[in-house]
Structure 1
Amino acid sequence: MKRHYDVAQEELSFYGNEGTSLQNILAVLIGPKANASITGQLASLGINSLADLSVEELKKYQGIGEVPAKRIVSAFGLANQIRKFKKDEEYIVRSPEDAAKYFNDLEGLQQEHFEAIFLNTKNVVIGRKNVFKGSLNASIVHPRETFKEAIRLSAASIIVAHNHPSGNATPSREDIEVTKRLKEVGQVTGIELLDHVIIGTSGKFISLKEKGYV
């Protein structure tokens, strides 16, 4: 009987990435010791939940050691970077809706991700940075980390965004405090904070600019 890994490799070779199941892609990443029961459990989590797992969380699954766990995390990291790079190709932000659409990959993540995009004088996206991952806290999301990249890129303005894993995009007190701090720093540096967008679920979002906080 063929190993799960061998079957997965054959499927990948024959059908390519798009035609290979998530379970079998995981088997290829894990290697010869891949267990069909474990890859099935992981695949059943869905892409968003699986992409959010850390190396330590993956190692809790039987048969997944340090190296396979890092391969999986790296694969999702690479896919995310490619997706962001494609978005950056002459993407112009003209409205909160445009900003929310740009950050739609944050929807459904199990942890909060606080990110920033940097724009030129024509509002074209020239870069993106993950500033923080975890529960949003005004003392943790330091403006220095956000504006350092903006200065390096000679950005004219920035837009920040983060997701609410609960799906409810209503801004919290911390969200408002972070926004005010970033706005103040933007005024000092001359790099304007255009908006802070909170991503919920089902395409729902809230613009703190529209709420009068920016």
Structure 2
Amino acid sequence: MGTQVNEIHIRYKERIPAPFWKQIKSSKDAAEMLYQTWNTDTIAVHESFKIVLLNNSNKVKGIYQVSQGGITGTLVDLRILFAVVLKTLSVGILLAHNHPSGKLQASQPDKDITQKIQRAAKLFDVKVLDHIIIAPNGDYFSFADQGVL
């Protein structure tokens, strides 16, 4: 009897054909799309961290919620984040999280995780195009627009 090991399957299934994917041309496009897809019941209750997965034309392949936390923070596991990025063969990503307080300012931990993700993304030739902070009323803060990225 030989050694037995588990078989690994990695799967990404497109339900919407690529020509119909939304193209992101600005932080406003990204913020509006994110706000429309955010759960309005929870956006003012707890923080969530999401990634928007993009192809080479900045068209949205999908959105994945990486983590959900408490009122003042959420943890981001880079292994999970990059497992999704690599599984979907994305070449660009947008980072996003909400501030239930409505405060549109990047905290030092927000800046630190962004830099950590950027460093890791370079190893995979993946571009981090922006990090958007969404407020419960739909207002947003863009790291790229503010020169923080």
Match of 1:94 among 14, 17, 25: 25
TM-score, scaled relative to structure 1: 0.55
More strand by share: 2
More helix by share: 1
Structure 2 unaligned spans of 5+: 1-14
**CA offsets 1:15-40 (integer angstroms, 9 cap, x no match):** xxxxxxxxxxxxxxxxxxxxxxxxxx
Give the match for residue 156 of structure 1: 91
Give the match for residue 178 of structure 1: 113
Match of 1:158, SS state, is: strand
Higher RCO (CA < 8 A, seq sep 6+): 2
Q: Give the letter for the 2:54 counterpart.
A: L
Give the match for residue 212 of structure 1: 147
**CA offsets 1:44-81 (integer angstroms, 9 cap, x no match):** xxxxxxxxxxxxxxxxxxxxxxxxxxxxxxxxxxxxxx
Match of 1:128 among 56, 63, 73: 63
Query: Aligned residues, how many?
Result: 127
Structure 1 stretches of at least 4 aligned residues deviating more than 4 Å after TM superposition: none
Q: Shift in Å at residue 90 of structure 1? A: 1.3
Structure of greater Rg:
1
TM-score, scaled relative to structure 2: 0.77
1:197 corresponds to 2:132? yes
1:103 corresponds to 2:38? no
Partners of 2:67 and 2:97 lie apart in 1 by 9
Give the match for residue 26 of structure 1: none
Structure 1 unaligned spans of 5+: 1-84
Partners of 2:88 and 2:102 lie apart in 1 by 32
1:145 corresponds to 2:80? yes
1:166 corresponds to 2:101? yes
Match of 1:91, SS state, is: coil
Match of 1:149, SS state, is: helix
**CA offsets 1:94-117 (integer angstroms, 9 cap, x no match):** 110011011104363311010001
Partners of 2:30 and 2:98 lie apart in 1 by 13
